[in-house]
Amino acid sequence: MKLIKLAIISFIVLFVIITAIGLLLPATVRVTRNITIHATQDTLYHYISDVKYWKLWMEGAKSGTVTFISKKTAGAGTKALIGNQRVDITKATKKEVVTVWQNSNERYQTGIFQLVEDSTTGSTNLNWYFEQKLNWYPWERISAIANDKIIGPGMEQSLDNLKAIFEGVK
């Protein structure tokens, strides 16, 4: 009986400690990648706001199947399935395209593309980031530390693919 009581108390104390550590971690995680592409903002906007062009440059879309849920393929209101992830474009302006990604586990991430044109060089700076709001669960917050290592390389490769379309450089 003493051994069972010790095990229960140890489990509760361990859970409280792990939860306290988890609460010290941020509730929002952001993975950001940035690239400058020699193309106008308008041209780049079409490749970002139109999901049918994603197959040309975005890593998940290149290798997976893209199925449209909505009749639209571009701009706000576009809904598509890319592999096992649902993507909704919620906002699309010349300077910013906002997407919401939902995976098969019902977890959501917001993906934002920001376009800033440099008229002196004729290039556009593309800032792409994913933002995820986390629950208080310690395992969720601790596992989110690895988001940069998991999502980042695919984002970098996708941006390099997009740059290669316009500049012919791989």
Residue 63, domain CATH: 3.30.530.20
Domain of 60?
A: 2-167
For the segment 16-55, what is each residue's pLDDT rounded down to a tens digit?
Answer: 888 887 777 778 888 999 999 999 999 999 999 999 999 9
Task: Count the domains in the chain.
Answer: 1
Three-state helix/strand/coil letters over 32-61: EEEEEECCCHHHHHHHHHEHHHHHHHCHHH
Three-state secondary-structure class, residue 168: coil
Q: The whole model's pTM is what?
A: 0.83
For the segment 125-160, what is each residue's pLDDT rounded down to a tens digit?
Answer: 999 999 988 888 887 878 788 888 888 899 999 999
